[in-house]
Structure 1
């Protein structure tokens, strides 16, 4: 069993930050065996190379140029390997119904994602991010106060954003090859994130 990291390792910049309202973080949300199964299913599926990083879309395709997903962007129901997680998220009260849109992101060392808020007109009130593979630091920034919080996302963990954390804070992953976690330099390796959402128009 993975040992839970210390408070310092969870929050690299500040060991006792005031977290955004609506942010929850769960260690070891899935087992290592579950993660292996998810990774195998992801790697057996087709990747898109629309961005600097590789992605997969399920449920609905997200248009990065238009920054939206529409009814006509429907791909189909979630595959079985994602459906089980979606049902669990709803059963445990994180969503009012099982999420029906998932984006899989692959982050190699040196890759990241710019600060953003997930599309408000497209996606519902909760965003859930499941982390597989490497740990990384995610940076949150509040607007307009510019207050920042950094959180180390460990493999097998689940991050959920709702309320203020969903609508008033951007989140980003700095593009670098290592992170300072718990006062120590940690080299990144391949990380896979699975982001679960519901579509507003359904």
Structure 2
């Protein structure tokens, strides 16, 4: 997809050139957050636990409270001790008031992508961290729009089952014209304001504010990337997504992006059931 918008203005931290901020949207990228030695140890530890190094399948490991793919929150019962290769760098995280307790470590074979999405608002605190290692990859950002809001309101489908994001549920089949119109609308929406940031190996991405709540992030599934004007074959990539779980009265959200806010959508659905709207 041809990008049609330049990224928001970035500023380099005058005290540390490894830190780049897009302050308007609350996004921070820290280069060389971990060392090459730490990176090698992480990769070795990952494959020691799950030796499936090859193949086309994405491999996931969960530490702390496990990510729950049915609620898109955190499990109440499944908890795995966090390995030292993670706990060792936690004191270096830039926001110590949001210390993560849910960690998802993943291996992405070459060519694998991540569909556009906004992480759950109500179940996790604001700071969302993603540590990339193994190889560089461009991550795409886009302000969420009507199609993202529509998808959020579709019936939940199993994440293990392949499904076409442009296809309506079987209970309400769309006509060919509707399907084409939806696809065209989505294409127009995605091309209108999307841009990419290169995530180098050993870099830490921090999403807060608008980038956390109102922007989708994605990695396009493709075999090559254009980096510094050169076509580069994509290699295997690893990431650690880090979140802070909300519990009890902390669960909820009052952000400025109700279209893609799970808390606001639940309120909307409840109001519909009660006949208020």
Q: Normalised by the size of structure 1, how large is the TM-score?
A: 0.82
1-structure distance, mates of 2:45, 2:211: 30
Structure 1 residue 82 displacement after superposition:
1.1
2-structure distance, mates of 1:127, 1:139: 16
Could you tell me which residue of structure 1 aligns to residue 60 of structure 2? 55
- Residue pair 2:131, 2:204 contacting (<8 A) in 1 also: yes
Could you tell me which residue of structure 1 aligns to residue 48 of structure 2? 44
Could you tell me which residue of structure 1 aligns to residue 116 of structure 2? 115
Q: Normalised by the size of structure 2, how large is the TM-score?
A: 0.61
- Residue pair 1:115, 1:173 contacting (<8 A) in 2 also: yes
1-structure distance, mates of 2:66, 2:246: 14
1-structure distance, mates of 2:236, 2:88: 24
Q: Name the SS of the counterpart of 1:69 in structure 2.
A: strand
Q: 1:163 aligns with which of 197, 205, 209?
A: 209
- Residue pair 1:77, 1:100 contacting (<8 A) in 2 also: no
Superposed CA RMSD in Å reads 2.5
2-structure distance, mates of 1:107, 1:171: 16
- Residue pair 2:224, 2:234 contacting (<8 A) in 1 also: yes
Q: 1:68 aligns with which of 51, 70, 73?
A: 73
- Which consecutive residues of structure 1, in runs of 5 or more, have no partner in the other structure? 1-11
Once the two structures are superposed, the pairs formed by residues 11-22 of structure 1 within 5 Å of their partners are 17-18=7-8, 19=22, 21-22=25-26
Could you tell me which residue of structure 2 aligns to residue 150 of structure 1? 196
2-structure distance, mates of 1:161, 1:201: 21
Relative distance call for 1:14 and 1:34 in structure 2 (3 A) is farther
Structure 1 residue 15 displacement after superposition:
9.8
Q: Does 1:139 align with 2:140?
A: yes
- Residue pair 2:127, 2:212 contacting (<8 A) in 1 also: yes
- Residue pair 2:113, 2:219 contacting (<8 A) in 1 also: yes
Q: Larger Rg: 1 or 2? A: 2
2-structure distance, mates of 1:170, 1:47: 32
Identify the range of structure 1 (183-192 vs 80-89) with the bigger mean alpha-carbon deviation.
80-89
1-structure distance, mates of 2:87, 2:4: 36
Structure 1 residue 201 displacement after superposition:
1.5
Q: Name the SS of the counterpart of 1:70 in structure 2.
A: strand
